[in-house]
Amino acid sequence: MKVILVVGARPNFMKIAPLCRAIRKRNQSIHDNRYIIHNILVHTGQHYDYEMSKIFFEDLELPEPDIYLGVGSGTHAEQTGRIMIELEKMLLKEKPDLLVVVGDVNSTLAGALTAVKLHIPVAHVEAGLRSFDRTMPEEINRLLTDAISDYLFTPSPDANENLKKEGIEDKKIFLVGNIMIDSLLSNMEKVKKSGTLKKFGLKKEQSIDDRQQTTDYALLTLHRPTNVDDKDAFGRIINALIKISQHVPIIFPVHPRTKKQMQVFGFQHYFVDLKKDTSSIINNGLYLTDPLSYSEFLNLMAHAKMILTDSGGIQEETTVLDIPCLTLRENTEWPITITQGTNVLVGNDTQKIENEAFKVLNGKGKKGNCSELWDGKASDRIIEVLLEQLVFKG
Ligand code: UD1
pLDDT, one tens digit per residue, over 294-304 is: 999 999 999 99
CA of 19 to the centre of ligand 1 (A): 23
Choose which residue among 52, 55, 73, 145 to substitute to test ligand 1 binding: the one with the highest number of ligand atoms within 8 A of its C-beta.
Answer: 73
Given a cut of 50, is residue 319 above it in pLDDT? Answer: yes
For residues 127 and 386, what is the distance between their CA atoms, to the nearest angstrom? 15
Mean pLDDT value across the chain: 93
Mean pLDDT of 151-170: 97
Q: Given this chain, do its domains 2-178+375-392 and 185-361 carry the same CATH topology?
A: yes
Query: Exactly one of 43, 47, 124, 223 is catalytic; which is it?
Result: 223
CA of 28 to the centre of ligand 1 (A): 36
DSSP states of 319-360: HHHT--EEE-SS--S-THHHHTSSEEE-TT-HHHHHHHHHHH
Nearest CA to ligand 1 atom 30: 257
DSSP states of 82-138: HHHHHHHHHHHHH--SEEEEETTSHHHHHHHHHHHHTT--EEEET-S---S-TTSHH
* pLDDT at residue 280, as a whole number: 65
Query: Hey, which residues does 68 pair with through a beta bridge?
Result: 43
Fold of 185-361: Rossmann fold (3.40.50)
Nearest CA to ligand 1 atom 31: 257
Nearest CA to ligand 1 atom 14: 10
Total Cβ atoms within 10 A of residue 278: 8
Nearest CA to ligand 1 atom 9: 105
* pLDDT at residue 284, as a whole number: 87
**Which of 68, 163, 83, 167 has the alpha carbon at shortest distance from 124?**
163
Q: What are the sequence ranges of the domains in the chain?
A: 2-178+375-392, 185-361
- ∠ CA 6-150-320, nearest 5°, is 65
Choose which residue among 50, 51, 54, 223 to substitute to test ligand 1 binding: the one with the highest number of ligand atoms within 8 A of its C-beta.
Answer: 223
Q: Which stretches does DSSP call E strand in the chain? A: 2-7, 38-43, 67-68, 98-102, 122-125, 151-154, 173-175, 218-220, 250-253, 272-273, 286-289, 306-309, 325-327, 343-345
Task: Fill in the amino acid letter for 269.
Answer: H
- Under DSSP, is residue 175 helix (H, G, I), strand (E, B) or coil? strand
CB 286 within 8 A of CB 270: yes
CATH architecture of 2-178+375-392: 3-Layer(aba) Sandwich (3.40)
* pLDDT at residue 275, as a whole number: 80
What is the number of residues in the chain? 394
Nearest CA to ligand 1 atom 25: 73
- Counting atoms of ligand 1 from 1, which one is nearest the CA of 11? 6
Write the pLDDT tens digit of every residue in 211-269: 545 679 999 999 999 999 999 999 999 999 999 999 999 999 999 999 999 999 999 99
Given a cut of 60, is residue 208 above it in pLDDT? Answer: no
Write the pLDDT tens digit of every residue in 73-130: 999 999 999 999 999 999 999 999 999 999 999 999 999 999 999 999 999 999 999 9
pTM of the model: 0.94
CA of 63 to the centre of ligand 1 (A): 22
Rounded to a whole number of angstroms, the CA Rg of the chain reads 21
For residues 79 and 76, what is the distance between their CA atoms, to the nearest angstrom? 5
* pLDDT at residue 209, as a whole number: 56
43 catalytic per annotation? no
Strand ranges across the sheet with 38-43: 67-68, 38-43, 2-7, 98-102, 122-125, 151-154, 173-175
Protein residues with CB under 6 Å of any ligand 1 atom: 9-11, 46-49, 52, 73, 104-106, 137-138, 223, 255-257, 311
**If pLDDT is split at 50, 70 and 90, which confidence band does 206 have?**
low
For residues 388 and 392, what is the distance between their CA atoms, to the nearest angstrom? 5
Task: Fill in the amino acid letter for 134.
Answer: R
Given a cut of 70, is residue 352 above it in pLDDT? Answer: yes
